[in-house]
């Protein structure tokens, strides 16, 4: 590494302001002060198999990961946005993260055993998760709710960006619809042709906040990054031209410093948004349903058929749509399932699931045969 600042130089006039511009916080400073004197902090801006791009604010350096970290249980790998300590071109420490946006990748795909899942880190130490959703065929309320659940379960503030607003005559109508399903979440509509909206988004990041952009492939994430950066730093591609395996134009995760301050992380489009719960006491993506659920007659109400269910009552009056309730139940079942998996062996959960299903089928058969008697 070009810079070999030692610890005594760190609070120095040159080095510290550079790190602060990259999102350095007292939380990391405290960790740094407890670390070995001969290594220097840097932020990870790119991950490419076994090579990591890091910066200290003046250019990008390529470094590798210490074998000791590879060999720790399950391997501990840096993700984009991580703060690390570097010594002689090797990452020796990954600082404890402020937060980590991660998703579950379920089994049955890419050669993984069915039912077994992995946790995939997307980005770390974030101020916002920008959920990008196009106002074209991409527009889907249930998917937005899923992204919100993902962000909240990782303890990250979501912001919803409705891109391609120029394709709609009345984009404000979509903003209102999304605001209704995302209470308290900022919602913006954006377009290639509207610089004001891009400026509004960039002020969220000022002076040194970090956001990661998540959304489907073709939603316009890289296009927005180019607009925020004021130049074409990312390749973009028309949705219609994406064929076969090359559907994702962006294939790597990279962090960019914006000219006006702040940082953005571009990601490949996400196809599978497996939910993971990291923080237990988080804001929920469904505060309206949760508030009503607290008033149901039974504390363990499933809001499917119980008498005195306040949620079903709200469905009846149109206060809440049945689409939203179905998605709430679905996402919660998924979270319960993954949480159970964390506590029990995979085989046991699977066995219990099948026992539960066969019991249900048996009950159904009994009920049917009684009906015919
Ligand atoms: N009409 C219109 N098209 C847009 C807008 N923003 C992006 N697009 C187009 O949408 C297509 C996809 O944009 P990208 O920025 O490559 O999408 P992406 O989300 O980065 O996709 P991946 O990298 O595959 O995840 C491109 O052809 C863009 O020109 C917009 O505001 N209006
Ligand atoms: Mg892209
Ligand atoms: Zn209920």
* Torsion-angle region of 61 (φ positive above 0: left; ψ -120 to 50: alpha; else: beta): beta
Q: Could you please report the per-residue DSSP string of 117-178? A: -EEEEEEES-SEEEEEEESSTT--HHHHHHHHHHHHHTT-EEEEEEE-GGG-S-HHHHHHHH
> Mean pLDDT over all residues of the chain?
85
Burial class (CB in 10 A: 0-12, 13-18, 19+), 181: buried
CB 237 near ligand 1, within 6 Å? yes
Q: How far is the CA of 270 from the centre of ligand 1 (A)?
A: 14
pLDDT given for residue 265 in this prediction: 97
Q: Is the CB of 191 under 6 A from ligand 1?
A: yes
Position in ligand 1 atom list of the atom nearest CA 247? 24
- The answer on pLDDT for 188 being more than 50 is yes
The preferred substitution site among 237, 244, 265 for testing ligand 1, maximizing ligand atoms within 8 Å of CB, is 237
DSSP string, 21-60: HTT--HHHHHHHHTS-TT-EEEEEEEEETTEEEEESSSSE
Is the CB–ligand 1 distance for residue 221 below 6 Å? yes
202 CB under 6 A from ligand 1?
no
CA of 235, closest atom in ligand 1: 16
In Å, how far are 19, 148, 279 from 65, measured between CA atoms? Answer: 21, 32, 28
Nearest residue CA, atom 27 of ligand 1? 238
State the closest ligand 1 atom to the C-alpha of 268, by its place in the atom list counted from 1.
Answer: 25
pLDDT digits (tens, 9 = 90+) for 348-366: 666 766 776 677 677 667 7
pLDDT at 111 over 60: no
Q: pLDDT value at position 135?
A: 97
pTM for this model (two decimals):
0.84
Ligand 1, atom 26, residue with closest C-alpha: 238
Report how far residue 36's alpha carbon sits from residue 135's, in angstroms, rounded to the nearest whole number. 50
The CATH number assigned to the domain with range 100-266 reads: 3.40.50.300
Q: Which atom of ligand 1 is nearest to the CA of 225?
A: 15
CA of 253 to the centre of ligand 2 (A): 10
Where is pLDDT greater, at 181 or 112? 181
Task: Compute the distance from residue 149 Cα to the ligand 3 centre, in Å.
Answer: 20
Closest ligand relative to 163 C-alpha: 1
Q: What is the pLDDT of residues 191-248, one digit of tens each?
A: 988 889 899 999 999 999 999 999 999 999 999 999 999 988 888 877 766 554 446 7
Percentage of the chain beyond pLDDT 90 is: 58
Closest ligand to C-alpha of residue 190 is 1
Q: Are 12 and 20 contacting, i.e. CB atoms less than 8 angstroms apart?
A: no
Q: Is the pLDDT of residue 373 over 60?
A: no
Cα(257) to centroid of ligand 2, in Å?
17
- The residue contributing the CA closest to ligand 1 atom 29 is 238
**Domain residue limits, the chain:** 7-94, 100-266, 287-371
207: cis peptide before it, omega within 30°?
yes
**Structure letter (DSSP) for residue 308:** T
Q: Which of 137, 120, 186 is nearest to 158 (CA)?
A: 186
Here the tokens at position 6 are 């030692």
Tens-digit pLDDT profile for residues 280-338: 656 689 999 999 999 999 999 999 999 999 999 999 999 999 999 999 999 988 888 77
pLDDT category, 13, cuts 50, 70, 90?
Answer: low
Mean local confidence (pLDDT), 110-133? 79
Does CATH number 3.30.460.10 belong to domain 287-371? no
Instruction: Decide: 197 and 172 in contact? Cβ < 8 Å.
Output: no
The correct answer on CATH 2.30.30.140 for the domain covering 7-94 is: yes
DSSP 8-state assignment for residue 261:
S
User: Which of 72-86, 123-137, 243-257 has the least mean pLDDT?
Assistant: 243-257
Query: What is the distance, to the nearest Å, from the Cα of residue 57 to the centroid of all Cα atoms in its chain?
Result: 25
Residue 98 has pLDDT above 80, yes or no: yes
Length of the chain: 373
CA–CA gap between residue 79 and residue 61 (Å, rounded): 15
| Gap from CA of 330 to ligand 3 centroid (Å) | 15
Contact status, residue 91 vs residue 84, Cβ threshold 8 Å: yes
Residue 261 has φ and ψ, to the nearest 5°, of 105, 155
């Amino acid at each position: 590494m070009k810079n070999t600042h030692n610890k005594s130089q760190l609070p120095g006039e040159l080095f510290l302001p550079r790190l602060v511009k990259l999102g350095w916080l007292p939380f990391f400073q405290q960790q740094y002060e407890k670390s070995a004197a001969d290594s220097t902090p840097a932020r990870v801006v790119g991950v490419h198999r076994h090579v990591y791009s890091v910066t200290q604010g003046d250019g990008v350096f390529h470094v590798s990961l210490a074998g000791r970290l590879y060999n720790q249980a399950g391997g501990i790998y840096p993700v984009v946005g991580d703060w690390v300590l570097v010594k002689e071109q090797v990452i020796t420490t990954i600082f404890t993260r402020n937060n980590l946006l991660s998703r579950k990748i379920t089994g049955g795909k890419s050669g993984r055993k069915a039912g077994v899942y992995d946790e995939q880190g997307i980005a770390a130490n974030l101020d916002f998760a920008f959920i990008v959703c196009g106002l074209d065929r991409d527009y889907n309320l249930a998917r937005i709710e899923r992204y919100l659940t993902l962000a909240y379960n990782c303890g990250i503030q979501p912001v919803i960006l409705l891109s391609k607003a120029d394709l709609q005559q009345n984009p404000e109508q979509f903003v209102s619809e999304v605001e209704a399903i995302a209470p308290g979440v900022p919602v913006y509509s954006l377009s290639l042709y509207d610089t004001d909206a891009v400026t509004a988004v960039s002020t969220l990041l000022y002076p040194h906040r970090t956001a990661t952009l998540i959304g489907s492939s073709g939603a316009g994430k890289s296009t927005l990054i180019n607009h925020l950066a004021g130049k074409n730093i990312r390749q973009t591609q028309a949705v219609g031209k994406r064929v076969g395996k090359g559907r994702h134009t962006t294939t790597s995760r990279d962090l960019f410093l914006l000219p006006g301050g702040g940082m953005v992380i571009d990601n490949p489009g996400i196809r599978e948004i497996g939910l993971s719960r990291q923080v237990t006491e988080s804001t929920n993506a469904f505060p309206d349903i949760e508030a009503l659920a607290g008033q149901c007659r039974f504390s363990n109400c499933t809001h499917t058929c119980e008498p005195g269910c306040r949620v079903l009552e709200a469905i009846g009056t149109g206060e809440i749509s049945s689409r939203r309730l179905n998605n709430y139940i679905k996402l919660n079942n998924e979270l319960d399932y993954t949480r159970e998996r964390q506590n029990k062996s995979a085989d046991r959960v699977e066995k219990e699931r099948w026992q539960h299903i066969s019991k249900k089928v048996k009950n159904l058969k009994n009920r049917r045969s009684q009906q015919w008697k």
